[in-house]
Structure 1
């Protein structure tokens, strides 16, 4: 094989491969079916044309037969009138018309034979078209089912690039959702522990404890002062508060102290 022949073969092979990939079998089947129907229509048209020609010849034959009868009557009448010359002419025309009728009958027979052949071919072509149509629809259904199954399989297995992107996007969404849920749980835990209040305050733990000690010392000093004043007065002053009032005031101070400690 020469270089040019090999190059031509390679080109044809690649072109054929491209056509195979681009070809849609369902479209090819539909196109073939339409071509067969066009051929059937052409055959039917040919049969119709032949039938028309045959009918024309049959009409012409009937007219010639009528002329034959006419010339035959003319010959009889001429003989009755002793006009042999006219009778001879009438018989000559009769013979001429009969010869034409014989030719037309031959043509009609040929057209009938051709018409019969075309009708038989038309019936055979119709049968093949019906058979092809059944196979075409079956093949199209199989191809479409296989194509749909392939698409579903690719989607389920994630073979396609689009499904891979979707899978990666889903993984990223799950990771971000997990992070967000963990962050929300941590915020709730810090809120319950009071860590947010500590973070917003300028005081640390030591400052809060010292402040609590100072408050307690001040309360104790004030209490001692109160006791000293009440003891130095001796007796029971007329305007001194009753023991119940003192106890109530002491209870109120203790309650405030407890509230501060719990805070």
Structure 2
């Protein structure tokens, strides 16, 4: 394959991919339905034109029959009056009307099948459009439901972009919370140990240390008393 052929294939593939990404199935279905409706309307207009021609032929045939009948009547009247010349003229008029009648009959015979075909085609096209309309609505509903399901799934799994970084954000926040909790615990221990001082505590460092020792001593004394009170006395043998 030549380089130009490969470029043409690549361009066609890229164009097809771009058109596919831009194409909305719902809009495509609606557009196809509108085109079918337009085709049906065109068919109805053609049918109306042909039917109008058919009716016109029927009217012209009626006029030709009236001319034939009138010519025959005129010929009889002329013969009764012994006017062969007028009778001949009336009969010539009758022949012309008969020729005209035959031409109209041929035209009517030619157009009648066309009318029947157009009527049948219009009926079939209307049925097809109605079937397509039903299928279109079903397909649009199915596509919309599937599209919604895809969007929800993308949101839940993070593929859609809206919640794509939510999991990472939660992990980062959790790490910060744990880090802040550890820092708070450490500072609490340091405050208790006297490493950090309370700025609202106006005691001196030595006073605070003595208070800690007193509290520790009080706890030790209370613990010794508790142990003494719970010690069982073993009776002598």
TM-score by length of 2: 0.75
Does 1:103 find its partner at 2:87? Answer: no
Q: CA deviation at 1:200?
A: 3.2
Question: Is the alpha carbon distance of 1:63 and 1:208 closer, same or farther for their aligned partners in structure 2, counting shifts above 3 Å?
Answer: closer
Does 1:93 find its partner at 2:93? Answer: yes
Q: CA deviation at 1:177?
A: 6.0
Q: Which runs of 5+ in 1 are unaligned?
A: 210-263
Q: Which runs of 5+ in 2 are unaligned?
A: 211-237
Question: Is the alpha carbon distance of 1:64 and 1:155 closer, same or farther for their aligned partners in structure 2, counting shifts above 3 Å?
Answer: same
Secondary structure class of the residue paired with 1:88? helix
Instruction: Count matched residues.
Output: 209
Report the structure number with the largest CA radius of gyration: 1
Take 2:14 and 2:58, find their aligned partners in 1: how far apart are those partners? 60
C-alpha RMSD of matched pairs (Å): 3.2
Secondary structure class of the residue paired with 1:161? coil
Would the aligned equivalents of 1:72 and 1:91 in 2 still touch at CA under 8 Å? yes
Would the aligned equivalents of 1:198 and 1:204 in 2 still touch at CA under 8 Å? no
Does 1:38 find its partner at 2:25? Answer: no
Structure that is richer in helix per residue: 1
Report matched runs for 1:3-152 at 5 Å: 3-152=3-152
Take 1:68 and 1:163, find their aligned partners in 2: how far apart are those partners? 89
Question: Is the alpha carbon distance of 1:207 and 1:105 closer, same or farther for their aligned partners in structure 2, counting shifts above 3 Å?
Answer: closer
Does 1:205 find its partner at 2:206? Answer: yes
Q: CA deviation at 1:80?
A: 0.9
Take 1:16 and 1:206, find their aligned partners in 2: how far apart are those partners? 85
TM-score by length of 1: 0.68
Take 1:39 and 1:198, find their aligned partners in 2: how far apart are those partners? 89
Would the aligned equivalents of 1:158 and 1:164 in 2 still touch at CA under 8 Å? yes
Cross-structure match for 1:154: 154
Question: Is the alpha carbon distance of 1:106 and 1:198 closer, same or farther for their aligned partners in structure 2, counting shifts above 3 Å?
Answer: closer
Take 2:62 and 2:42, find their aligned partners in 1: how far apart are those partners? 30
1:24-51 deviations in whole A, cap 9, x for unaligned?
A: 1221121111111111111111110001
